[in-house]
Chains A and B, each alone.
Chain A
Amino acid sequence: MVRFLEFTGKPFVMMIEAFGKVSLLLFSTLAWMVRPPYRIHEIFKQMEFVGVNSLPVVLITGAFTGMVLAIQTYYGFRMFGGESLVGATVALSMARELGPAITALMVTGRAGSAMAAEIGTMRVTEQIDALYTMSVNPVQYLIMPRVIAGIVMLPMLTIVSDFIGIVGGYFVGVGLLNINSGIFIARIVEFVDLSDIINGLIKASVFGLILSLVGCYKGFNTSGGAAGVGRATTQAVVVSSVSILISDYFLTAVMF
């Protein structure tokens, strides 16, 4: 029994501990955010990296998600003659769920992993120590700009993803499956509220916080040379993705 508790309890305790440490890093990040210098240049650099450079992948995944949604709902809804609702279903699914989630997962793979790798390399080659010796706080210089970029850019990318997903759905629904174009759009306008979109963007912002904070945390606590950097990168992606999907459930349950 004791061994069973130890076996199941240990990962649990470690999880709580890690959660505590990430929270501490978040508080430290917030504290350095309001202290000068404000690192505007670094923040814009990270926004470009997280946001602008993620556009191609977000466009492609968003478009195909919308397209596949249109096909799937079409085949389902046709059984009871509900083809006219395909547009609204695609739009609602994109705005409330798939836009934020797909975007966050793609950006985790692209930018979250890069954050862990870059900061991890800086850790094992003593570049972070060098920052300390030059009186530059690495939380302020490295982590704060990335976290801000995550929080701000994920909603922006999600808007793009939502929009291109609906365009993809329209292309498949109206172009290939011959749904009436006017009805397709009218149903979207009728069923999608602004609050659906806004709630999706709030989710995206939380996901952006998660993926940047986890990426930075894993990188910042890297040890053990190149192998350690590899480990940190993998863990950053896995932990971020799992956390995003779990928090997605709870956010959705609270919001809708």
Chain B
Amino acid sequence: MKIQLVNICKAFGDQVVLDSLNLTVEPHRITVIIGESGGGKSVLLKHIIGLIRPDAGSVYIDDVEISALNERQLNDVRKNFGMLFQEAALFDSMTVGENVAFPIREHTRLTKEEINIIVEEKLRQVGLKKVTGKMPAELSGGMRKRVGLARALALNPKIILFDEPTTGLDPIRRDDIDRLIVKTQQHTRATCLVISHDIDSTFKIAHKVAMLYDGRIIEYGPPEKIKNSENPVVKNFIEGKSSSEQ
């Protein structure tokens, strides 16, 4: 499914976060959004799933303008989505297993046994074993993140939004999750949008990279184009240099 953002403007109070931003996310590809902390990446992601409505501009999913839909209509469109939140957003009154099972229970008629098999499978994919019965509060931050990932992938969604899937993980786990995202994408042909701070893994998994700066996408294209960008802001960002050093 194609995602299109047209002239999105969003401000909180007098703080402008997105300033007529345009971006087309290609279907069946992995697009990675990079940009500085506090730059509005999470806000951008929440526009795409209708959690935040733009002050101006439109969000299209496959030519449906979701920024104009009401809550009930959005409810239907969102069945195509899976989303991993930056802070995982696990339901803390449910066990890990119940968290992952939740979307499956809500939207399919599978039996308990069938659901349990999927839950175990998804948890195994993110490298978690023997945590099904634990509560989210008993897990480490990185483990919570991976449970959130398992939950986002539970229904094999057509669009998957990942808000920093590998932040807070050790290098090996990070590599595992990168692989999982690529494998899942190849397997389900989902449209994936990943927010990342990690330049290496960005270039490893991305078909397309978009750099968000000052409320706009200032560079967009395949990884090579970003690597060889002449734009000083992009250059500094991927080389990890503070722009004040110049």
Q: A residues bordering B, Cβ < 8 Å?
A: 118, 121-122, 125-127, 129-130, 132-137
B92 touches A127 (CB 8 A): yes
Contact of B91 among A130, A133, A135 (CB under 8 A): A130
Return chain B residues, CB-CB under 8 Å to A134.
Answer: 78, 102-103, 106-107
Determine the main DSSP class of B at the interface with A: mixed
A-B contact pairs, 19 of them (CB 8 A): A118-B93, A125-B87, A125-B92, A126-B87, A127-B89, A130-B83, A130-B89, A130-B90, A130-B91, A132-B49, A132-B74, A132-B78, A133-B49, A133-B82, A133-B83, A134-B102, A135-B75, A136-B106, A137-B71
Chain B: number of interface residues, binned into ranges: 20 to 34
Q: Say whether A135 contacts B89, CB under 8 Å.
A: no
A122 surroundings in chain B (CB, below 8 A): 91
- How does the 8 Å CB contact mask read for B106-119 relative to A, with 1 for contact and 0 for none? 11000000000000
Give complex CA distance A188, B74 in Å: 58
Name the B residues within 8 Å of A137 (CB-CB): 71, 75
Determine how close the nearest CB of chain B comes to the CB of A44; give it in whole angstroms. 15
Residues on A with C-beta less than 8 A from B74 are 132
Q: Which 7 A-B pairs have the closest CB atoms?
A: A126-B89, A130-B89, A133-B83, A135-B78, A134-B103, A135-B79, A135-B75
* Least Cβ–Cβ distance between B162 and chain A, in angstroms: 12
Pair A127/B91 contact, Cβ less than 8 Å = yes
* Complex interface bits, B66-102 against A, C-beta within 8 A gives 1, otherwise 0: 0000010011101101110101011111000000001
Report the Cα distance A127→B90, complex, angstroms: 6
On whether the beta carbons of B46 and A129 are closer than 8 Å, the reply is yes
Return chain B residues, CB-CB under 8 Å to A127.
Answer: 89-92
